[in-house]
């Protein structure tokens, strides 16, 4: 039985891939995207990998048409795709700023804009944006990345206020340090320094994020909207 259709950007690896598989294992049809051709390598017939550049609006329109014809328009949109291009601000090139903002922020706008119309029509939907604690606390060398993720949090709140009356919730999940390719470059000394500031004393794993996303997509979270929820082991506390 199909519980619903899920669309997740940036699903070829790391957090995105685990979220996609988690939803598929729980009875959802899942369309996952990447800029390059990929496969989930899972024995599941409800996972649909597609190549899509979320910064290309013409490609997104074509994708929408194809999904509509195959009855795969999502009731749950997970904006996960993101890139980094770290550099101290004085050395940051224009293209390092532009590419990160274009993917992390404008890509989220592009997908939300095209898919939310069907949610409004159905008076039901979930939009979940994958932000970062970097957008809440900042990080040296990540002015571009932190800015894009901080903007996502504002995007989340504003859109939640606009579409709440249509029974659509919009939330963000802000992962802390998670064991993925994006943190694999850290050496043991750097990891030990970071862990000293994490009350739970460890990096998170991708399933910590997948479970939170699944909860926000569920009926149990129907009264939660406009929130940015940190999943960071206590790294950032207000």
List, for residues 127-140, the tens digit of each pLDDT value.
999 999 999 999 99
Please tell me the predicted confidence (pLDDT) of residue 1.
Answer: 62
Query: Which CATH class name applies to 5-176+205-231?
Result: alpha beta
Please tell me the predicted confidence (pLDDT) of residue 86.
Answer: 94
Per-residue pLDDT tens digits for 2-19? 799 999 999 999 999 999
> Is 177 one of the annotated active-site residues of the chain?
no
Please tell me the predicted confidence (pLDDT) of residue 181.
Answer: 74
* Catalytic residue of the set 28, 145, 223, 238: 145
Please tell me the predicted confidence (pLDDT) of residue 183.
Answer: 73
SS3 state at 75? coil
Residues with pLDDT less than 50, the chain: none
Question: Mind giving me the DSSP string for 18-62?
Answer: HHHHHHHHTT-EEEEEESS------S-TTEEEEE--TT-HHHHHH
């Amino acid at each position: 039985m199909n519980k619903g259709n899920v669309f997740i950007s940036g699903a070829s690896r790391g957090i995105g891939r685990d979220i996609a598989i988690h939803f598929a294992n729980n009875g959802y049809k899942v369309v996952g995207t990447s800029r390059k051709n990929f496969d989930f390598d899972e024995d599941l017939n409800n996972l649909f990998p597609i190549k899509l550049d979320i910064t290309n609006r013409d490609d997104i329109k074509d994708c929408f048409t194809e999904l509509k014809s195959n009855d795969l328009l999502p009731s749950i949109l997970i904006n996960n795709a993101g890139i980094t291009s770290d550099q101290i601000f004085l050395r940051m090139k224009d293209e390092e700023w532009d590419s990160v903002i274009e993917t992390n922020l404008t890509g989220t706008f592009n997908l939300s804009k095209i898919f939310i119309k069907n949610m409004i029509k159905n008076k039901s939907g979930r939009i979940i944006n994958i932000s970062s604690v970097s957008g809440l606390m900042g990080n040296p060398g990540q002015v571009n990345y932190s800015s894009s993720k901080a903007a996502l949090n504002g995007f989340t709140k504003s859109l939640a206020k606009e579409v709440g009356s249509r029974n659509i919730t919009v939330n963000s999940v802000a992962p802390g340090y998670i064991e993925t390719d994006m943190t694999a470059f850290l050496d043991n000394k750097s990891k030990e320094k970071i862990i000293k500031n994490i009350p739970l004393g460890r990096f998170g794993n991708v399933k910590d994020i997948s479970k939170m996303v699944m909860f926000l997509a569920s009926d149990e979270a129907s009264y939660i909207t406009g929130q940015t929820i940190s999943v960071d082991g206590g790294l950032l506390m207000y």
